[in-house]
A and B are shown apart, each in its own frame.
Chain A
Amino acid sequence: MSEDDERQQCPPSDLEFVSNKARNCNATGSGSGHPELQSVYLDQVLENVLENVLHFLTSKRDRNAASLVCKSWYRVEALTRSELFIGNCYAVSPARATARFARVRALHLKGKPRFADFNLMPPDWGAHFNPWALAMAKAYPWLEKVNLKRMSVTDDDLATLAELFLGFKELVLVCCDGFGTSGLAIFVNKCRQLKVLDLIESEVSDDESDWISCFPEGESHLESLIFDCVECHINFEALERLVARSPLLKKLRLNRYVSIGQLYHLMIRAPQLTHLGTGSFSPSEIAGQGDQEPDYVNAFAACKSLVCLSGFREIIPDYLPAIYIVCANLTSLNFSYANITAEQLKPIISKCHKLQVFWVLDSICDEGLQAVAATCKELRELRVFPVDAREDSDGPVSEVGLQAISEGCRKLQSILYFCQRMTNTAVIAMSKNCPDLVVFRLCIMGRHRADHVTGEPMDDGFGAIVMNCKKLTRLAVSGLLTDKAFDYIGRHGKLVRTLSVAFSGDSDMALKYVLEGCPQLQKLEIRDSPFGDAALRSGLHHYYSMRFLWMSSCRLTRHGCQEIARAMPRLVVEVIRSADEEEMDDAVEILYMYRSLVGPRTDTPKFVTIL
Chain B
Amino acid sequence: MEVNYDNGLNLKATELRLGLPGSDEPERQTTPRSNKRTLSEISSSGVTDDGNDYQQDSAPPAKEQVVGWPPIRSYRKNCIHATGRYVKVSVDGAAYLRKIDLKVYRSYPDLLKALENMFKLTIGAYSEREGYNGSGYAPTYEDKDGDWMLVGDVPWEMFISSCKRLRIMKGSEARGLGCV
Contact = CB atoms under 8 A, between A and B. Distances in A.
B68 A385 contact: no
Contacts of A285: 98-99
B9 interface: no
A392 B61 CA distance: 13
B33 interface: yes
A288 B70 CA distance: 42
Interface stretch (A190-198, A235-243, A333-341, A463-471): A333-341
The size bracket of the interface on B is 35 or more
The size bracket of the interface on A is 35 or more
A385 B83 CA distance: 13
A445 B80 contact: no
A447 B68 contact: no
Interface in A365-401: 385-387, 389-392
A462 interface: no
Q: Which of B70, B72, B94 has the most CB of A within 10 A?
A: B70
A339 B85 contact: yes
Contacts of A361: 80
A120 B67 contact: yes
Contacts, number: 108
B66 A389 contact: no
Contact of A447 (B66, B72, B77): B66
Contacts of B82: 256, 314
A290 B88 CA distance: 13
B76 A391 contact: no
A288 B99 CA distance: 12
A229 interface: yes
B68 A339 contact: no
B79 interface: yes
A341 B161 contact: yes
A28 interface: no
A580 interface: yes
Given A283-B99, A286-B98, A287-B96, A118 B144 contact: no
Contact of B76 (A314, A316, A385, A443): A385
B65 interface: yes
Contacts of A315: 83, 86
Contact of B65 (A229, A316, A336, A390): A390
Interface string B7-34: 0000000000000000000000000010
Interface of B: 33, 62-63, 65-77, 79-80, 82-88, 90, 94-99, 103, 144, 161, 164-165
20 contacts: A115-B68, A118-B69, A120-B68, A282-B86, A283-B97, A285-B99, A288-B96, A289-B96, A290-B95, A316-B87, A318-B164, A387-B80, A391-B63, A391-B70, A392-B63, A443-B70, A443-B71, A445-B69, A527-B68, A528-B66
